[in-house]
Structure 1
Amino acid sequence: MRDANVFAFRKAMPRMSWSPRNLYNLWRRSCGAEAEAINFTRSPKTLFQQRWISKALVANGDLDAFAGRTEQLERAKKKAYDEKRKGLAPVGSLMLAEARRVVIHGSILLNGKKHTNANTRLAPGDMISVDPAAIRFLQEPGSSKAKSEVLESLPAQSSASTKSSLTPFNLPPYASPFIFIPAYAEVSFPTCSAIYVRHPTARPGYSEIPTPYDADGEVIRLAWEWYSKMRPRTRSKSQMAREPENRRPSESI
């Protein structure tokens, strides 16, 4: 569990959120008042401190127990218990479970063939197609017998207005910077399909992975040095190649 004030202006830590406060922090870290704090050209900080700051700004995802935040773990457990008592739905886990259910039930086509392994990592050139019938919000809600009887008893004008009513949809404020399709994916909304063109790449001045920092800048370099040295929960290329769900571009389904 994170701190209560995750969008604090004092720390200005970038988060994975569409919040306007998070957007303001992203601007401060990229070209605002806090941009000078990540300039390590003439910094009195040690190399370890520079790597630690870069890692925190890029990922900011240490385990609570590793970071010494055991008290927050207890609060998180208490909050989860309270939500369970109140009957609140775990929306995040349900969303992932729903996506996994769509794959396991055979509603996903990988290169034109049914694929039911939800752990498969895509290879460049793979095409993913989703059965529109499996997308619930694209389907018309089924009318029950009781609902049809109620509609029949209502005047014709009111029933017509009920049928023509649409659910309003409004984007949250300042959502445009976060709405984009990456260059390594070609998406076709009418056919509910997408092509994974290639793996994300980065070069000086350009990065296909969303980040407020320069792709070839000091923050990304030092963060990479931190993880390459500490290697928390990482796997070598040989280990990843031995996993059955990894495929190569030339491999057929």
Structure 2
Amino acid sequence: MRHRAPYSAARGLIRMSWNKYNLYNLVKRELPQPSARKTLYQQRWEAKRLTRNYHGDRVTERRWQALSITSQLPDFANMPPEAKAAAKALALRPTIASLTYAALERRLDTVVFRCLFAPSVYAAKQMVRHGKVKVNGRKLAYPSYNLKDGDIITVEPSAIQMLSGEAGTDMEYTPKPYSQPFHFLPEYLEVDYTTCSAVFLRAPVSRPGRSEVPSPYPPEMHQLAHEFYVRKRG
């Protein structure tokens, strides 16, 4: 869930937001380094804390545990013992392990933010709740709605803060200050700013040497976070 002070410099947690204080935390971020003073469990827990607060701070830990965190990764629980070791070795590769958070990229509020229709995932959540977003032509007031491949998302132009001009005319998209580091479109989205619409093409995937899951953290951090959940589930 969102914290009362999401951009606290003392905590230094990075969020899905263009807020200038969030940008400060992004610039000043310090990634955990291996240390003899920290156990492997502590390193994994810290990686989980950092990545979870970016990818899913709107989702409670209980709810997060109920989600299929590893839906795109091997099902270790139902795997024969002889195959489990090899599967875990594959899943724990950094670029594969980043798919731990791929399921959250299907959330409607996340997609509205990724499409650059909202300056933060929190603003995107409010837009959805206020009926400003449609999926396949139907209003959906559920920010946690999981989009399916091929779903079309449309947003009311008046709800997009970055658009200026009169409705029905050529409206201009003006990026907000401090937003440049976040201005990119993931490969699994196709966006048309003239119609304020987008298509969710597919879930993000892992490719050799890189992952399509947008994140301010390197794949090694996702690897540690994934290891935390894998060990917790047994």
Instruction: Give TM-score, length-normalised by structure 1.
Output: 0.48
Query: Whole-Å Cα distance in 1 between the matches of residues 172 and 132 of structure 2?
Result: 28
Aligned match of 2:148: 122
Aligned length: 162
Give the deviation of 1:116 after TM superposition: 8.3
Residue 49 of structure 1 deviates from its aligned partner by: 0.7
- Measured against aligned partners, the alpha-carbon deviations of 1:18-43 in whole angstroms (never above 9, x if no partner) come to 122221222232xxxx23xx122x54
Instruction: Find out whether 1:39 has 2:40 as its counterpart.
Output: no
Q: SS at 2:215's partner residue?
A: coil
Q: Which range is displaced more, 205-214 or 185-194?
A: 185-194
Q: Which has the larger radius of gyration?
A: 1
Query: Does the 8 A contact of 1:206 with 1:214 survive in 2?
Result: no
Could you tell me how far 1:58 is from its partner in structure 2? 0.5
5+ residue gaps, structure 1, are 67-89, 109-114, 142-166, 232-253
1:214 and 2:218 correspond: yes
SS of the aligned residue for 2:202 comes to coil
2:18 maps to 18
Q: Map 1:1-253; keep pairs closer than 5 Å.
A: 2-4=3-5, 6-29=6-29, 34-35=30-31, 38-40=32-34, 42-60=35-53, 61=57, 63=60, 94-99=126-131, 102-103=134-135, 107-108=137-138, 119=145, 121-123=147-149, 126=150, 128=152, 130=154, 135=156, 137=158, 171-203=175-207, 206-215=210-219, 217=220, 219-230=221-232
Give the Cα–Cα distance (whole angstroms) in 2 for the partners of residues 7 and 129 of structure 1. Answer: 29
Residue identity matched to 1:22: N
> CA contact under 8 A between 2:129 and 2:141: conserved in structure 1?
no
Change in CA separation of 1:169 and 1:8 when aligned onto 2, cut-off 3 Å: same
Superposition RMSD in Å = 4.3
Amino acid at match of 2:156: I
Following superposition, the deviation at residue 2 of structure 1 comes to 2.0
Report percent identity of matched pairs.
Answer: 34
Q: Deviations over 1:28-79 (max 9, x none)?
A: 32xxxx23xx122x5431122111100111013474999xxxxxxxxxxxxx
CA distance in 1, matches of 2:195, 2:173: 22
Indicate how the Cα distance of structure 1 residues 213 and 93 shifts in structure 2: closer, same or farther if over 3 A, else same: closer
**Paired residue type of 1:220:** H
